[in-house]
Amino acid sequence: MTSSRGLTRLSAHRMGAGLRAGEFSARELLDAHLSLIEAQDGALHAWVSLDFERAREAADRADTTLVAARGVSAAPRDGSTPTLDALPRLLGIPVALKDLVVTRGRPSTAGSRILESFISPYDAHIAERLDAAGAIVPGKTNMDEFAMGSSTEHSAWGPTGNPWALDRVPGGSSGGSAAAVAAYHVPLAIGTDTGGSIRQPAALTGTVGLKPTYGRVSRFGIIAFASSLDQIGPFGRDVRDTAILLGTIAGRDERDSTSAPVAVPDYAGELPSSDDEAAASLRGVRLGLPRQYFVKGMEPGVEARVREAVAALADAGAEIVDVDLPHTDYGLATYYIVAPAEASANLARYDGIRFGRSVRGADVLGNYLATRGGGFGAEVKRRIMLGTYALSAGYYDAYYLKAQKVRTLLKRDFDEAFAQVDALVAPTSPTVAFPLGARLDDPVAMYLSDACTLPVNMAGLPGLSIPCGLSEGLPVGLQLIGRAWDEARLFRLGRAYEAITADAKWRTLEPTDLRALDDPATPGPMERVAIMGR
């Protein structure tokens, strides 16, 4: 029998195997995670809402299903009860949701005071998928307000710490989900990626994160930031777990017109089972290395780890090909025209009349201005203003229309690169996790955090971030970029890299500040920022 805390260290696929074998129950597995959350989240602040009662009810239902399945696994069946092998892979497994996934009867705030009183009357598509699979949702994780940020410091509920260094950010906007997985609060979590908001926090917390192809996962029930860029995706601690979660949530949804009618492979089932088989799959693979992704300002330690990872892939049999993506340098500027423009339109619905925060006491215009003025944070206001300006009469052609044309050129660069190679390999983030408060007064420096990730969103392609070592004791991420709908190849490449680095010392290390999380005297992120004087 694994100890209570030891249960939280298992991979999700190992948890699933243990549940089927009867080594522990779903209730025991859940309670191990809930006790860790209760003990540590005061210092970490990865969570913004928790529902232990509903989670325990879901765990009890999972246990009932598991007991019934064990009773028919070797006996004739009437078809009403599945065998153990036929059960969903996520049955009984805890999964965290980012706080912009709406769920019936639960708070869904998108990290904003303008939605602090909002309780959703329906479930998002992915929440329905997870419920049908028997996954257990303990609660919602912290995030930058409306997913606008790269550090989870723009949350109305305060920042989140990084389990590797509590005085540093976990990345963003899905920093709460990444931190919860890195701290073993859950084995899996859902994030969203508009310009890097899954991959960048995955890199900064030493976890695995995938931004799927645009349209692979339904956005129904996801509080929108930029509709042509947003995509839901998974976090895990290894590639197989991440593949299991994507396989559960992916697929066509008639309620989302951008959800593609494309078949979903058995991502996890197609992965090699042994390290030797996984490593051998690299032979003959052509990987493109784009020089433009080694951006100005990249930390030397980050570049060193990424180039070491590329060398390891080459030593294992992959062919590394230098490729050119000439319009990459325009990606950042293009993104910060398109994304704010779409955000200004999406956030117009928060008017204090239909739902969410509502300030009364003046005329209609006064109530509207007071509701939005007090409900939105500084970063959201900044992007609404940028987007409204870009869409305004006289400036639409000069900014928004031109940005869409450049977006086409970015996509063409990728198409030409994929005519030569099977996938691209690049850094995920130009830096390791930076200190809390260090970039709040410099929005441009904050925006540069996503320089290596946002071109993928502009082109609608899949991108996978996997850990590739440490720099100054903090995680570094390696990014794999694929053709549209080619997530399966990225998972195979990620699994192969795990195999060829299985004996690396850094793979045996847990986040440095986990012990501090156990100390009740450890200050939370807000107190830590105050102590640092930021």
Locus of tokens 């298992």: 10
Q: Which amino acid is present at 184?
A: Y
Residue of 25, 112, 197, 344 marked catalytic: 197
Task: Tell whether the torsion through CA atoms of 87, 89, 90 and 93 is positive or negative.
Answer: positive
pLDDT tens for the chain, residues 1 to 534: 567 899 999 999 999 999 999 999 999 999 999 999 999 999 999 999 999 999 999 999 999 999 999 887 555 555 677 889 999 999 999 999 999 999 999 999 999 999 998 999 999 999 999 999 999 999 999 999 999 999 999 999 999 999 999 999 999 999 999 999 999 999 999 999 999 999 999 999 999 999 999 999 999 999 999 999 999 999 999 999 999 999 999 999 999 999 999 999 999 999 999 999 999 999 999 999 999 999 888 999 999 999 999 999 999 999 999 999 999 999 999 999 999 999 999 999 998 888 888 888 878 888 888 889 999 999 999 999 999 999 998 899 999 999 999 999 999 999 999 999 999 999 999 999 999 999 998 888 888 889 999 999 999 999 999 999 999 999 999 999 999 999 999 999 999 999 999 999 999 999 999 999 999 999 999 888 777 665
Our answer to whether residue 120 is catalytic in this structure is: no
Give the whole-angstrom CA distance, residue 199 versus residue 111. 19
pLDDT score recorded for residue 79: 60
pLDDT score recorded for residue 465: 98
pLDDT score recorded for residue 258: 96
CATH class for the domain made up of 4-67+87-269+285-332+401-532: alpha beta
pLDDT score recorded for residue 350: 93
pLDDT score recorded for residue 533: 63
Tell me the C-alpha to C-alpha distance, in Å, between residue 154 and each of 149, 150, 217, 299, 365.
6, 9, 26, 24, 27
Our answer to whether residue 296 is catalytic in this structure is: no
Classify residue 475 by its DSSP letter: E
pLDDT score recorded for residue 534: 56
pLDDT score recorded for residue 444: 83
Residue of 150, 173, 177, 449 marked catalytic: 173
Closest CA to 136 of 56, 43, 246, 17: 56
Our answer to whether residue 173 is catalytic in this structure is: yes
pLDDT score recorded for residue 76: 52
Going from N- to C-terminal start, the domains of the chain cover: 4-67+87-269+285-332+401-532, 333-400
Q: How many residues does the chain have?
A: 534
